[in-house]
Amino acid sequence: MRLMCRCLKVSPSGYYEWSGRSASPRQLDNERLLTRIRAMHEDSRGALGAPRMHEDLAEEGETASLNRVARLMAKNGLQGWPRKKRRGQRADPGLPPPGVSNLLERDFDALEPETKWVTDITEIATDEGKLYLCVVIDLFSKLVIGWSMHHRQDRQMVMRAVEMAIWQRQGGWSVILHSDRGSQFRSSDYQRLLTKNTLLCSMSAPGHCGDNAACEGFFGMLKRERVHRTKYATLDIAKADLFNYIERFHNPRMRRRVAKQDQKFSALSKPSVETG
């Protein structure tokens, strides 16, 4: 051991002091934090990267910085699922129904629930064929408040997703419901459903996918964190996994986030008590 210390130019007494030294409070806290990071990473099936991991930890009351979380994850081989870059052509959309315009205008911030909703359709590949998923998202909470799946992307599938959102609705005031110009959203049945339930139809401009970026962003996370990492043998298996992602992973996270925001707002709005 003394020969190795001489080769490494380290004093033997310094080495023995280092080897017998107990872990510092910082090391112990890193081990505790890493244990929680591993558990959350496993619960998400490896989907959470450092930024979203940091957000979830902050919601639990952790004060660790983003750099510290990223460093612990990188050192221990933990990383999220990277985003795929794709290029493609967009189909030529049809004309919107008379009187329908882009009411949302890319303003994806909502100060109250049930004021701005967005909806869209995406496809999931399985060995039995394509499965289509339609979702309705409340921009205030980012919750998926309505969803429907089918092997055909018809207007009935879209209407079922909207009806699910309507069923969970608490108030009767007008709500903007934004979509692209797909034929399902331009159908007369869909338009009548919206009118009957005081939903204001809003549609994206031709060739502007950014007009519905909130819904596209959700689909991007869904595919990056779950779909692109899974091979679905049947339509039923895909349906079960999508249900699991929406109702057991995404929506619970959004509910915790909204609850955390409500707590902060209540603390800020609570009047102070002056003592005499």
Backbone angles phi, psi at 211, to 5 degrees: -65, -20
Q: Hey, what domains does the chain have and what are their CATH numbers?
A: 1-76 (no CATH), 116-262 (3.30.420.10)
For residue range 89-148, list pLDDT tens digits in order. 454 456 777 778 888 888 888 888 999 999 999 999 999 999 999 999 999 999 999 999
The count of C-alpha atoms lying within 13 angstroms of the C-alpha of 66, restricted to the half-sphere facing its C-beta, is 5
Give the C-alpha separation, 45 to 228, whole Å.
12
Instruction: Indicate whether 19 pLDDT > 80.
Output: no
Q: What is the pLDDT of residue 92?
A: 47
Q: Which of 47-51, 206-210, 234-238 has the highest mean pLDDT?
A: 234-238
**pLDDT band at 173, cuts 50/70/90?**
confident
Of residues 129 and 210, more confidence is placed in 129
Average pLDDT estimate for 26-33: 85
Q: What is the pLDDT of residue 75?
A: 85
The answer to whether residues 135 and 215 touch, using CB atoms and an 8 Å cutoff, is: yes
Give the C-alpha separation, 153 to 157, whole Å.
6
Q: Which helix (H) or strand (E) holds 123?
A: strand 116-126
